[in-house]
A = this chain, B = another copy of it.
């Protein structure tokens, strides 16, 4: 069942059927009605490959994330997909599992697939790949890429300052002075930006950020536990720990418990991301939050505009702010 069959059955040309399907205003209403009846009756579904080939656009957006199992992403994906669906755009989804080589491969696939735009919501993109992407002239939006900012690409830029300032201030008000940081992998720009925001916040409040109190984790629960173990086994324990994401904070909680420490009595813990599960942990987790829906919305809007605007990719730097959400994992220090 193709457009020609429908044309024959409706007694019109394929051009007219095409116009009806695409809601062209210049078709006589009666003609449109007749065509639509046949389309309905035969359950005709136009072939998207043919349409894409002809028109040059696929109405397909690529969404690439690092790790769908990190609870940060599902909400972002959910919203992105919903916004796309509303515009009749489908979303091809892939994840890189934090592997730069795999990212390379994903991008290749997406370009072959002729997607109209790419939302690259990962940290592990390397400069060479970025350069190649720019060469493609494809609408593109990135997340937290300093290099991208320099190249005039669209970026969603998380402003970590606000949240970290609030977090450190919160702990300081509670009497904490020895504040540790469980960092993310040093090769990830998002991890480094968080560490940076932490350092700055500490300095702003005249607190010393001692090097021994910064330990690197892997953004996962297990890595958080291991990093916290290291911290707690050291001679001079901190009274509070800020973690670069919630999953590591959960690992840190487990570690503290297995060291016989009570939270927040013996040690205060703060996470980052404010995922749903912060309300479910024991104790509930004080966390720095940022709106994933906002990220998704801005990412989609930037791409959608770039697509309609005939490739005039004006630089756009969208800033998303962060905020502390206080729960039960932080309290006055007893030391």
Task: Decide: A113 and B281 in contact? CB cutoff 8 A.
Answer: no
Does chain B have a CB within 8 A of A100?
no
Task: Decide: A68 and B78 in contact? CB cutoff 8 A.
Answer: yes
Nearest B residue to A78 via CB reads: B68
Task: Decide: A49 and B58 in contact? CB cutoff 8 A.
Answer: yes
Given contacts A49-B53, A282-B282, contact A93 B114 (CB under 8 A): no
Q: How far is the CB of A85 from chain B (nearest CB, A)?
A: 7
Q: How far is the CB of A48 from chain B (nearest CB, A)?
A: 5
Tell me the bound Cα distance from A235 to B279 in angstroms: 29
Tell me the bound Cα distance from A90 to B108 in angstroms: 12
Task: Decide: A69 and B74 in contact? CB cutoff 8 A.
Answer: yes
Does chain B have a CB within 8 A of A30?
no
Number of interface residues of A (CB under 8 A): 49
Q: Max chain B CB contacts within 10 Å: which of A92, A221, A250? A: A92
Residues on B with beta carbons closer than 8 Å to the beta carbon of A81: 68, 93-95
Given contacts A53-B47, A112-B45, A282-B281, contact A93 B95 (CB under 8 A): no
Nearest B residue to A74 via CB reads: B68
Given B69, B88, B112, B280, which contacts A250 in the complex, CB threshold below 8 Å? B280
Task: Decide: B282 and A48 in contact? CB cutoff 8 A.
Answer: no
Does chain B have a CB within 8 A of A276?
yes
Residues on B with beta carbons closer than 8 Å to the beta carbon of A108: 45
Tell me the bound Cα distance from A221 to B97 in angstroms: 28
- A232-287 residues with Cβ-Cβ distance < 8 A to B are 250, 253-254, 276-277, 279-283
Does chain B have a CB within 8 A of A162?
no
Does chain B have a CB within 8 A of A128?
no
So how many copies of this chain end up in the complex?
Answer: 2
Residues on B with beta carbons closer than 8 Å to the beta carbon of A69: 74-75, 78, 276
Tell me the bound Cα distance from A210 to B250 in angstroms: 38
Question: Interface code A11-47, partner B: CB below 8 Å = 1, 0 otherwise?
Answer: 0000000000000000000000000000000000111
Task: Decide: A49 and B46 in contact? CB cutoff 8 A.
Answer: no
Tell me the bound Cα distance from A71 to B68 in angstroms: 10
Does chain B have a CB within 8 A of A109?
yes
Given B48, B75, B94, which contacts A85 in the complex, CB threshold below 8 Å? B94
Nearest B residue to A250 via CB reads: B280
Does chain B have a CB within 8 A of A50?
yes
Tell me the bound Cα distance from A68 to B68 in angstroms: 10
- 14 more A-B residue pairs beyond the given contacts A68-B74, A71-B74, with a C-beta to C-beta distance below 8 A: A45-B108, A45-B112, A50-B53, A78-B95, A81-B95, A82-B97, A85-B94, A90-B113, A91-B93, A221-B280, A254-B279, A277-B277, A277-B280, A281-B281
What are 25 A-B pairs with beta-carbon distances under 8 A? A45-B108, A45-B112, A46-B112, A48-B113, A48-B114, A49-B49, A49-B53, A50-B53, A63-B93, A68-B74, A68-B78, A69-B78, A73-B74, A81-B93, A81-B94, A82-B95, A82-B97, A90-B94, A91-B94, A92-B92, A221-B276, A221-B280, A253-B280, A281-B281, A282-B282
